[in-house]
Amino acid sequence: QVQLVESGGGLVQAGGSLRLSCAASGRTFTFSSYAMGWFRRAPGKEREFVAVITRSGSSTNYADSVRGRFTISRDNAKNTVYLQMNSLKTEDTADYYCAASPRLRAAVAGFSANYYDYWGQGTQVTVSS
């Protein structure tokens, strides 16, 4: 069993920054064997892909809506993936979820939620105008 716990959400003004973290754990879980993704769900909307990072961290991919503003990274020694969010906009308001995929190899395919076996409970991000 794998547990993913997000943190770092909160209320921020437009133009501000937040850094989300997702700590992974599990008795037989090897963090470096999983690609990690971030998704979000805004109120009244469908869940959407935000960013993904491959197992080694060598490759990333982003949704067009966040590219250039958000940065995904990981620390395999700490079993943690991060999402640095800069220049936040009101439309970034959502619940943010991290997810782990044992099968995903190419970051370009990471937009598909079907690859991910494990999901966190989410952390809320609210961007005020």
As given in the structure block, the two tokens for residue 35 are 């690609």
| Residues 33-52 as b or e (16 or more Cβ within 10 Å = b) | ebbbbbbbeeeeeeeebbbb
| Per-residue model confidence as pLDDT tens digits over 56-113 | 999 999 999 999 999 999 999 999 999 999 999 999 999 999 999 999 888 888 899 9
| Per-residue model confidence as pLDDT tens digits over 1-45 | 899 999 999 999 999 999 999 999 999 889 999 999 999 999 999
Q: What is the H or E stretch that residue 21 is in?
A: strand 18-25
Other beta carbons less than 10 A from residue 115's beta carbon: 18
What contacts 54, CB < 8 A, 6 or more positions away? 35, 60, 104, 105, 106, 107
